[in-house]
């Protein structure tokens, strides 16, 4: 298991520090995507072969239109929640702008594939490939890559290799210019992490240097070539590279949790918990839930994250109820007013979607665990590792 050093801390309930998203350098959507979406929306048999992406695409051939349509559908189901339906980023959890042109011009398909398949465990970015406990086949991951690539409107960037750099010399610059957004050790704060082993194993030095020099237009990431010397940017590139673990990425196999087939009620004979009034009518503090669990209160806890994250660790007795598969547990949920709580890492996006769905279906006592599961773990409340729900007795 790759654990994320330092664990990202997310402000609870704080509004996004970013200005509202993000005028891309060109708001035009390439024709083939518009057509793909028209098809999705129920259109008929359009032929798209004449407008397969060129230039930017790095797949080395024409992209199959059926893959684009499938990719668009997958993207909406799995990714838009955080990265925005148009790839504009920052819909939740400070997820980056996948449609950003400097991003797309500087990353390979392989980078996209591995970062989607393996995710960034320890951050809200889960592993999505079935090989890593997630929901997607490798074909589906490829379809997502093709769809994300279709947002690219510029040719691949010229990525000059950095000159030799001195990581130590970069430390004060990093502390002054970068840490406020990326964290003291690159663990991520309001911006993506820079020290994640999956990122560092898949990003080239040239790609990292390009990001620092050119920035990401329309996002808070500035173009540092206007502020720093070429040598300072080389030094910063070396500093980020120095955070890469010595060991190669391990297999990181993660089991998929089994389907829920029985009642998921925890402490079925217990009394109902005595929660305070929900904040904004939605949120219950983690401390209250931890106490209720300890006191043997009757409730259901749903883990709204992808199944891979569930297996890595979850709240004792929680069952997987991923935000993209809202039917998965519903038929087993009690309709007698038993409290049903949802949580995610995020802390609210995925769990909020699950809870809203339950409310729309008429479930009475529902809430989201306010601070999310990273906070839960960091507070020292019990967690269970593995694909089984487990109980307090199994917890670490």
Task: Give the binding site for ligand HEC (CB under 6 A).
Answer: 78-79, 81-83, 89, 92-98, 100, 103, 112, 115-116, 120, 123-125, 128, 144, 177-178, 180-182, 188, 191-194, 196, 199, 208, 211-212, 216, 219-221, 224, 236, 346, 349-350
Least distance from C-beta 259 to ligand HEC, angstroms?
21
Maximal CA-CA distance, the chain: 67
Residue closer to ligand HEC (CB basis): 115 or 338:
115
Least distance from C-beta 23 to ligand HEC, angstroms?
13
Q: How does DSSP classify residue 51?
A: G
Least distance from C-beta 224 to ligand HEC, angstroms?
5
Residue closer to ligand HEC (CB basis): 146 or 329:
146
Residue closer to ligand HEC (CB basis): 85 or 274:
85
Structure token digits, residue 6: 């330092």
Least distance from C-beta 94 to ligand HEC, angstroms?
6
Return contacts of 57-65, CB within 8 angstroms, 24+ apart.
57/149, 57/150, 57/152, 58/108, 58/109, 58/149, 58/156, 59/109, 59/145, 59/146, 59/149, 63/146, 63/149, 63/150, 64/146, 65/32, 65/35, 65/36
Least distance from C-beta 251 to ligand HEC, angstroms?
20
Please tell me the distance from the alpha carbon of residue 199 to that of residue 367, in angstroms, as a whole number.
Answer: 34
Please tell me the distance from the alpha carbon of residue 311 to that of residue 302, in angstroms, as a whole number.
Answer: 13
> Quick check: 239 and 167 in contact, CB under 8 A?
yes
Least distance from C-beta 9 to ligand HEC, angstroms?
12
Residue closer to ligand HEC (CB basis): 238 or 265:
238
Residue closer to ligand HEC (CB basis): 319 or 350:
350
H or E element, residue 301: strand 300-303
Residue closer to ligand HEC (CB basis): 199 or 310:
199
Please enumerate in sequence order all residues whose Cβ is within 8 A of that of 153, keeping only pairs 6 or more positions apart, or say none. Answer: 25, 26, 28, 30, 56, 101
């Amino acid at each position: 298991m790759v654990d994320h050093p330092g664990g990202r801390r997310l402000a609870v309930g704080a509004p996004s520090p970013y200005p509202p998203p993000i005028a891309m350098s060109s708001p035009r959507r390439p024709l083939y995507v518009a057509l793909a979406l028209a098809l999705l929306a129920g259109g008929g048999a359009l032929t798209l072969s004449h407008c397969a992406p060129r230039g930017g695409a790095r797949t080395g051939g024409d992209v199959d239109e059926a893959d684009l349509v499938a990719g668009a559908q997958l993207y909406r189901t799995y990714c838009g929640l955080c990265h925005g339906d148009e790839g504009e980023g920052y819909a939740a959890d400070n997820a980056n702008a996948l449609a950003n042109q400097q991003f797309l011009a500087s990353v390979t398909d392989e980078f996209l594939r591995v970062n989607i398949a393996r995710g960034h465990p320890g951050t809200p970015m889960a592993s999505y490939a079935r090989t890593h406990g997630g929901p997607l086949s490798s074909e589906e991951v490829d379809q997502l890559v093709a769809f994300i690539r279709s947002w690219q409107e510029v040719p691949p960037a010229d990525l000059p290799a950095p000159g030799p750099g001195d990581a130590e010399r970069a430390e004060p610059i990093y502390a002054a210019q970068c840490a406020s957004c990326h964290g003291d050790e690159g663990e991520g704060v309001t911006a993506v992490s820079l020290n994640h082993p999956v990122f560092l194993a898949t990003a080239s030095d040239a790609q990292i240097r390009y990001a620092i020099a050119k920035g990401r237009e329309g996002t808070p990431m500035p173009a540092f070539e206007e502020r720093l010397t070429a040598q300072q940017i080389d030094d910063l590139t070396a500093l980020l590279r120095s955070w890469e673990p010595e060991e190669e990425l391990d297999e990181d196999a993660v089991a998929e949790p089994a389907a829920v087939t029985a009642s998921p009620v925890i402490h079925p004979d217990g009394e109902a918990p005595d929660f305070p009034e929900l904040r904004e009518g939605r949120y219950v503090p983690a401390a209250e839930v931890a106490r209720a669990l300890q006191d043997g209160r009757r409730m259901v806890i749903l883990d709204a994250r992808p199944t891979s994250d569930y297996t890595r660790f979850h709240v004792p007795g929680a069952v997987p109820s991923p935000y993209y598969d809202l039917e998965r547990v519903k038929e087993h949920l009690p309709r007698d007013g038993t409290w049903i709580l949802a949580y995610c890492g995020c802390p609210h996006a995925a769990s909020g979607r699950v809870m809203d769905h339950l409310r729309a279906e008429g479930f009475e006592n529902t809430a989201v665990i306010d601070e999310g599961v990273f906070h839960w773990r960091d507070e020292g409340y019990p967690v269970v590792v593995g694909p089984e729900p487990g109980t307090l007795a199994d917890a670490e």
